[in-house]
Amino acid sequence: MSPRPFQPVTVDHLVLRVVDLERMTTFYRDVLGCAVDRVVPHLGLTHLRAGTALIDLVSLDGKLGGAGGAAPGREGRNVDHFCLTVRPFDEDSIRAHLEAQGVAIFAPGERYGATGEGRSFYLQDPEGNTVELKGA
């Protein structure tokens, strides 16, 4: 196996699909002490700050949450994806490394995360979980 052209640094954010966005926001804010970092109503998305990371809540009736299918349970998943911050973020070398390992990337683009806006893309692990790799 060839050496990786990057190193994972930290978890950037975790995305939870939720039925009741207001109730979940209240819980994470008031019970667990996370601060509301940003709200994107047209996506049904609330970013909550947890130290240097974010917990993103996406409403099932919103654009992002609806893409995951049924509500969490037997027929639906709760975690949409998780994001790892990687350094250095040389997209071409990371892409080449992953392709050599038989891993396809998808949906490259600029996204907001715990360290602000940055370039990222998605991949799937062997069991179908979606992982986002994002530049620091």
Query: What CATH number does residue 33 fall under?
Result: 3.10.180.10
* Residue position matching structure tokens 């949450």: 65
pLDDT at residue 104, rounded to an integer: 94
Interior angle at CA 91, CA 87 and CA 93, nearest 5: 85
Interior angle at CA 125, CA 92 and CA 42, nearest 5: 80
Q: pLDDT-derived band of residue 93, with 50, 70 and 90 as boundaries?
A: very high
Residue 39 domain flag? yes
Instruction: Give the C-alpha separation, 71 to 43, whole Å.
Output: 17
- pLDDT over 90 percentage in the chain: 64
Q: Contact, 36 vs 30, CB < 8 A?
A: no
Each residue's pLDDT tens digit, 2-21: 789 999 999 999 998 888 89
Per the structure, the count of domains in the chain is: 1
Residue 90 domain flag? yes
Domain membership of residue 100 as a residue range: 7-135
Q: Pick 130 or 70 by higher pLDDT.
A: 130
Residue 41 domain flag? yes
Residue 2 domain flag? no
Q: What single letter denotes the amino acid at residue 83?
A: C
Instruction: Give the C-alpha separation, 61 to 18, whole Å.
Output: 9
Residue 53 domain flag? yes
Got the DSSP string for 83-132? EEEEES--HHHHHHHHHHTT--EEEEEEEEETTEEEEEEEEE-TTS-EEE
pLDDT at residue 77, rounded to an integer: 74
CA distances from 105 to 41, 93, 133 (A): 28, 13, 10
pLDDT at residue 136, rounded to an integer: 78
Residue 126 domain flag? yes
Q: Pick 58 or 127 by higher pLDDT.
A: 58
* Of 71, 22, 14, the residue nearest 44 (C-alpha): 22
Residue 1 domain flag? no
